[in-house]
Amino acid sequence: MPTISLDRLIPGAVIPIGDRAVVVPEAMAAAFRPGDHVLVLQESGDLLLIPAAQKALAAAAVDRAVGAFAAIGRVGDEAITGFFECFAKALESEKVWAAIAAANAEDVDRARAAGRSTTRLAATEAMRRDMIAGLRAWRDAATLRGRIVERLAHDGWTVEQVADPLGVVGFVFEGRPNVFADAAGVLRTGNAAVLRIGSDALGTARAIVREALDPALAAAGLPAGAVSLLDSAERAAGWALFTDRRLGLAVARGAGPAVAQLGSVARQSGIPVSLHGTGGAWLIADRAADAARFAATVRYSLDRKVCNTLNVCCIDRARAVELVPLLIEVLHAAGQARGRNGKLHVVAGDEAFVPSAWRSAVGRVRRAEGDRDEALCEILAEAELGREWEWEESPEVSLKIVDDLDHAIRLFNQYSPHFTASLISEDAAAQERFWAGVDAPFVGDGFTRWVDGQYALNQPELGLSNWQSGRLLARGAILSGAGVFTLRYRARQSDPTLRR
Q: What is the pLDDT of residues 467-493, one digit of tens each?
A: 887 888 777 888 877 788 899 999 999
Q: Which of 109-118, 311-320, 330-339 shows the lowest per-residue confidence on average (mean pLDDT)?
A: 109-118
- Provide the pLDDT for residue 295: 97
CATH code of the domain containing 113: 3.40.605.10
Q: What is the largest distance, in Å, between two alpha-carbon atoms of the chain?
A: 88
Question: Do both 407 and 334 map to the same domain?
Answer: yes
List the domain range (segments joined by +) for residue 429.
281-452
What integer is the mean pLDDT of 428-451? 96
* pLDDT at position 2: 58
Indicate whether 341 and 447 sit together in one domain.
yes
Where is the domain boundary, 240, 258, 277? 277
The terminus-to-terminus CA distance of the chain in angstroms comes to: 43
Chain-centre distance for alpha carbon 434: 25
**pTM beyond cutoff 0.75:** yes
Instruction: Evaluate the CA torsion angle 472, 475, 480, 486 in order and state its sign.
Output: negative
Q: Reply yes or no on whether the pLDDT at 444 is more than 60.
A: yes
Q: How confident is the model at residue 4, as a pLDDT? A: 64
Q: Is residue 214 part of a domain?
A: yes
Whether residue 35 lies inside any domain: the answer is: no
Is 109 exposed, middle or buried (CB count within 10 Å of its CB: 0-12, 13-18, 19+)?
exposed
Proportion of the chain above pLDDT 90, given as a percent: 70
293 and 267 in one domain? no
CB within 8 A of 52, min separation 6: which ones? 33, 35, 36, 37
Q: Which of 277, 300, 316 is the last residue of a domain?
A: 277
Residue 14 within any structural domain of the chain: no
Q: CB-side exposure of 266: number of CA atoms within 13 Å?
A: 26
Residues 287, 234 within the same domain: no
pLDDT at 366: 83
Mean model confidence pLDDT for the chain: 92
Cα-to-chain-centroid distance, residue 355: 37
Residue 1 has pLDDT above 60, yes or no: no
Picking from 277, 294, 309, the residue at the C-terminal end of a domain is 277
Rg of the chain (C-alpha set): 25
Q: Please tell me the distance from the alpha carbon of residue 418 to that of residue 470, in angstroms, as a whole number.
A: 9
Instruction: Identify whether 464 is part of a domain.
Output: no
Residue 270 in contact with residue 245, Cβ under 8 Å? yes
**What sign does the dihedral 460-198-239-264 (CA atoms) show?**
positive
pLDDT digits (tens, 9 = 90+) for 407-439: 999 999 999 999 999 999 999 999 999 999 999
Whether residues 86 and 147 fall in one domain: yes
Instruction: Judge whether 296 lies within some domain.
Output: yes
User: Considering only 159-163, 279-283, 434-438, 450-454, which range has the smallest mean pLDDT?
Assistant: 450-454
Using a pLDDT cut of 70, give the percent of the chain over it: 99
The per-residue pLDDT for 16 is 87
- CATH number of the domain at 428, please: 3.40.309.10
Same domain, 247 and 314: no
Residues 281/451, Cβ–Cβ less than 8 Å: yes
Write the pLDDT tens digit of every residue in 180-229: 888 898 999 999 999 999 899 999 999 999 999 999 999 999 999 999 99
What pLDDT sits at residue 418?
94
pLDDT band at residue 289 using 50, 70 and 90 as cut-offs: very high
Q: Higher pLDDT residue, 278 or 424?
A: 424
pLDDT of residue 371: 86
**Spatial distance between the Cα atoms of 261 and 44, rounded to a whole number of angstroms:** 8
Classify residue 324: in a domain, yes or no: yes
Do 115 and 214 fall within a single domain?
Answer: yes
What's the number of domains the chain is made of?
2
> Does one domain contain both 75 and 153?
yes
Residues 172 and 319 in one domain: no
Q: Are residues 250 and 132 in the same domain?
A: yes
Q: Is 169 part of a structural domain of the chain?
A: yes
Please indicate, yes or no, whether residues 245 and 312 belong to a single structural domain of this protein. Answer: no
The reply to whether 126 and 258 lie within a common domain is yes
Give a yes or no: residue 261 inside a domain.
Answer: yes
Whether the pLDDT of residue 3 is over 60: the answer is no
Sort strands 192-197 and 227-229 into parallel, antiparallel or unpaired: parallel
Task: From residue 452, give the alpha-carbon distance in Å to each of 9, 36, 309.
Answer: 45, 40, 11
